[in-house]
Each structure stands twice: as C-alpha cells, then as structure tokens.
Structure 1
Amino acid sequence: MAKSALQSSKSPSQLIDARIEELGDWRGQMLARLRSLIKQAEPNIIEEWKWRGVPVWYHEGMICTGETYKNAVKMTFAKGASLPDPAQLFNASLDGNTRRAIDFHEGEKINEKALKALIRDAVALNKSKAKT
C-alpha cells in the first residue's frame, strides 16, 4: 500500500503518534510534550494532519501547528500577533502581522504554565471571533 493511502486510513491523532515515533529523538519527545500541554490546556482540542505531515490543533479555528525541523520544534500560533505574551515565549516569526511562533531547541525547558496560558488565550480569541 502506498504511503499516502496508508496515511489516509489513519486518524490525525494516529498520524501524529506515528510522526512522534518516527522522529525517535529529542524532537519527537518535544513534540509529544507540547501535544500533551496543548491537550491539558484545552481538553476539547481537535487534532488535524495538514500540509503533508504537520500536526495542527483547532478549537473554533486554528490554534497552532507543531512543525519539526533539524534543530527545532516550531509551534506556530495562527493568531499569535493578537495574543498577550507576558512571559515572552514568542521567539520566531515576529515580523508578520498575524502569526507568531516559538522555536524549541534540544535541552530547552518549557515554561509550561505560560504556554498553557497562551493556548487558553488562543482558544478564547477564537471563541470571541466566532461570536462576531
């Protein structure tokens, strides 16, 4: 069976699980940890698999993506420029008018409390936009 046919028979959550396992290094561990924190912050989050292999989390609109690169795991917030960031988590894609990202590197600690607050704020922003 072709890879694309195999992928289409799996749920987005199963594809994300497979991606984490496939990475098999610190990036997989980081992606798994970020995914766990997303789910803790918003238990009703919906997982999707987009753009040929990028985990994407939704709640009344896109919240963020979880891209993996050689030297970083990038968490891009779709409406990051509109979110408060008192802990200054955003450290990438700072020039745009809409998105903001956080690059996580090997061995870096995650400010879990601040990240969960950022996720909750992103969900609240989507909910407020959905009502208007």
Structure 2
Amino acid sequence: MTKAAAAKKSSAKAADGASPSKLIDGRIKELGDWRGEMLARIRGLIREADPDVVEEWKWRGVPVWEHDGIICTGETYKEVVKLTFARGAALQDPAGLFNSSLDGNVRRAIDIREGEKINEKALKALIRAAVGLNASKAKKKPAKRSA
C-alpha cells in the first residue's frame, strides 16, 4: 500500500465523525488501567515495526492494524489484552509468542495478562512477517478486468 493510499484510508471517519486513530486513543483512555497502558504499548510497537500501518476501527469497537490486509486486532477483556493475527497460523513464531487460538487453521493470538512483559523484538518481527505475508498475497491477486 502506498503512503498516499494509507493516508486516504486512515482518514476514513467513524459514524460519529472520529477517525479510527482517535477512536483507539479514546479506548486507551477509557480503559484507564493496565489494559489501556498495554494497548498503547502494543500500538507503539506495531507503528515502530511498520511505519506505514493503517489503523482501523471495526466490529463496533475493535482496534485493527492493516497493511495490504489485516495484520492484527487488539481486543481488551477483563483479564487479558488479546492480539489476534489474522493469518497467524501461516507465520513462523520462533519466540513462541502465540499462546491462544492455537487450534485454528488461520488465526493465532497472544493473550497478555497484567504484569506480563512483552518480548518487543519478537513482536516486531511477527508484525513484519505478517506485513510481508499480506504483501505477498496482495501481489498474487490478478488484476480485475472491466467487462
């Protein structure tokens, strides 16, 4: 995705007029506890790993990070912050970050509990691998022809 396309896409507004990035800012603030801090930290790591990432707000309140398709989502629950990779089953995970949704054929997730540390280097590598996988899938799609 070009930077211009990313800028255009990230400027999409939610129903109330707020951008996805502003909605994610709001979620972090409204949580007001370790989950908000963790979501903010994860967001920062995603942006460091892929400066061209596009933030979205889907499914009535789920932060989503995309680059040529969904990289991952960031859901918050009472006990965990869940980072779900859309094509996680196809990614190498040498550091063993994936600890949830391990039985499926497509997705994989990382559940982070209060007080747990993030292996930042491994998470950034996983983000970059997901972007690479999305880019390779995007290049293989045949161009649509008009009739």
1:17 aligns to what? Answer: 25
- Per-residue deviation, 1:7: 5.4
**In 2, distance between residues paired with 1:50 and 1:118?**
22
1:38 paired residue number: 46
> How far 1:98 moved relative to its partner?
0.1
Give 1:100's aligned amino acid.
R
Counterpart position of 1:100:
108
State the Cα RMSD in Å.
Answer: 0.9
TM-score normalised over the length of structure 2: 0.85
* Corresponding position of 1:115: 123
How many percent identity over aligned positions?
72
Residue identity matched to 2:119: N
Q: Deviations over 1:106-126 (max 9, x none)?
A: 000000000000000000000
Matched, 1:85 2:93: yes
In structure 2, runs of 5+ residues without a counterpart are: 1-13, 141-147
Of structures 1 and 2, the larger Rg is shown by 2
Deviation at 1:8, TM superposition (A): 2.5
Report matched runs for 1:41-60 at 5 Å: 41-60=49-68
Aligned residues: 127
TM-score between the two structures when normalised by the length of structure 1:
0.95
